[in-house]
Homo-oligomer: A and B are copies of this chain.
Amino acid sequence: MTGNAQLSKATKSRTDARPPRGRKRSANSGAGQHALDDEIGLDALAGHAGYAVRRFQIWIFQDFIRTLSAVDIRPTQYSVMTVIGANPGLSQMAVAKRLGIERARLVHLLDSLEQRDLVSRIKSATDRRSHALHLTARGRTALAQFKRLAAEHERHVAEKIGKGNREKLLQILAAFT
């Protein structure tokens, strides 16, 4: 991402396509008339939850990746390990459905976690089509560390949007988890 995700001062949304302050910019004028990003209005975009959510999600994932860069764990890998850790024995289908991940994609995610000796696939005795997923001993130790770093990331979020706002957000979006 090139853009700055920080506070750009909510420029007023204009319904028509006119420059903010009578500063004239002819229709065919050259590009680059805006010295500051703040001058560029978002228009209807400012009222769309999806736009704000997308920008926020990019920021939050980047902070997560940065905060856990020393252990090389990305958000999806963390989510997979966390549900397996909390629900040992789950099948790949169950994990995929619970987290909204394509089962085809989970195959590759698990391949990489298994190669790092964090997760193991155990052939199910009752249904030989499926695998029971477990953390390895190493995986359990590692996950504990990942959780500490993830909690640190979560503190960054609270600093960024405010403690109360973070809790309100979790409450509003609880139905989607």
Q: Are B100 and A55 in contact (CB under 8 A)?
A: yes
- A25, B97: Cα distance in complex, Å: 20
Asked whether any CB of chain B lies closer than 8 Å to the CB of A113, the reply is no
Asked whether any CB of chain B lies closer than 8 Å to the CB of A30, the reply is yes
Q: Are B100 and A130 in contact (CB under 8 A)?
A: no
User: What is the total number of copies of this protein in its complex?
Assistant: 2
Asked whether any CB of chain B lies closer than 8 Å to the CB of A111, the reply is no
Per the CB 8 Å criterion, the residue count for chain A at the interface is 100
Chain B residues within 8 Å of A37, by CB: 94, 97-98
Over the window 39-76 of chain A, the binary record of Cβ atoms lying under 8 Å from chain B Cβ atoms (1 yes, 0 no) is 01111111111111111111111001000000000010
Chain B residues within 8 Å of A30, by CB: 89, 124-127, 130, 132
Q: Are A134 and B32 in contact (CB under 8 A)?
A: no
30 pairs from A and B in contact (CB 8 Å cutoff): A1-B100, A3-B97, A3-B98, A3-B100, A10-B174, A26-B89, A27-B89, A28-B122, A28-B132, A29-B88, A30-B125, A31-B89, A31-B91, A31-B94, A33-B90, A37-B94, A40-B87, A40-B98, A42-B177, A44-B82, A45-B79, A50-B61, A50-B75, A50-B157, A52-B177, A53-B53, A53-B169, A53-B173, A54-B57, A165-B172
Give 9 new A-B contacts, CB below 8 A, not counting A53-B57, A55-B177.
A2-B96, A33-B90, A34-B90, A40-B98, A47-B170, A52-B176, A53-B53, A53-B60, A161-B173
